[in-house]
């Protein structure tokens, strides 16, 4: 394996659904949630699964662009902030609100949302070491040099083996 090359971690629909349900199970005993704020776009699918499992009907989005060309995390751009009505729930500052995303990578996106909702509970399906301190609950930790291929980003294609000797 070449040094410096990211590790590929393909996640298929069945695995992602299981992991998102596991996240809901962990969250079920951690509080009474009034709303979910999902970080788009990655948080849309896990937020839908968590909302279904926990019976949460109020779902809001915060739209932040951070990845460009599906390669590198670039500058953050808040496209749509959280609705002030959601921020004001349960005494304000996001108390009683779950913030859901698929992944915390560097934690930069989560930090921006934490500034909007400092009392919210942050949960992700996957976490990398740099971003892990920014979330309260997650299911699976992967190394910082791992690139997760989510099911909504993939088609069925050949994956080359890790070893060059196996390629021949």
- Tell me, yes or no, if 105 is annotated catalytic: yes
What is the number of alpha carbons within 13 Å of residue 60 lying toward its C-beta? Answer: 22
- Tell me, yes or no, if 145 is annotated catalytic: no
Q: Which helix (H) or strand (E) holds 27?
A: helix 13-28
> In this structure, are residues 168 and 160 in contact, taking their beta carbons and an 8 Å threshold?
no
- Tell me, yes or no, if 102 is annotated catalytic: yes
> Annotated catalytic residue: which of 69, 72, 83, 102?
102
Distance, CA of 61 to chain centre: 13
> Annotated catalytic residue: which of 69, 90, 105, 145?
105
Q: What is the DSSP letter of 155?
A: -
> In this structure, are residues 34 and 89 in contact, taking their beta carbons and an 8 Å threshold?
yes
Tokens, residue 157: 């294609």
> Annotated catalytic residue: which of 90, 101, 145, 153?
101
Task: Report, as residue numbers or ranges, the catalytic residues.
Answer: 101-102, 105
């Amino acid at each position: 394996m070449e040094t410096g090359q990211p590790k590929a971690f393909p996640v298929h629909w069945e695995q992602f659904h299981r992991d998102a349900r596991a996240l809901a199970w962990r969250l079920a005993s951690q509080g009474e949630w009034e709303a979910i704020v999902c970080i788009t776009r990655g948080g849309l699918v896990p937020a839908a699964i968590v909302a279904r499992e926990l019976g949460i009907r109020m779902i809001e989005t915060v739209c932040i662009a951070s990845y460009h060309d599906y390669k590198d995390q670039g500058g953050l751009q808040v496209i749509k902030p959280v609705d002030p009505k959601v921020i004001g729930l349960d005494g304000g500052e996001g108390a009683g609100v779950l913030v859901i995303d698929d992944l915390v990578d560097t934690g930069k996106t989560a930090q921006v949302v934490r500034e909007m909702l400092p009392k919210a509970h942050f949960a992700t399906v996957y976490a990398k070491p740099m971003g892990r301190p920014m979330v309260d609950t997650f299911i699976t930790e992967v190394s910082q040099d791992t690139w997760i291929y989510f099911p909504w980003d993939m088609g069925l294609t050949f994956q080359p083996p890790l070893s060059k000797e196996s390629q021949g």
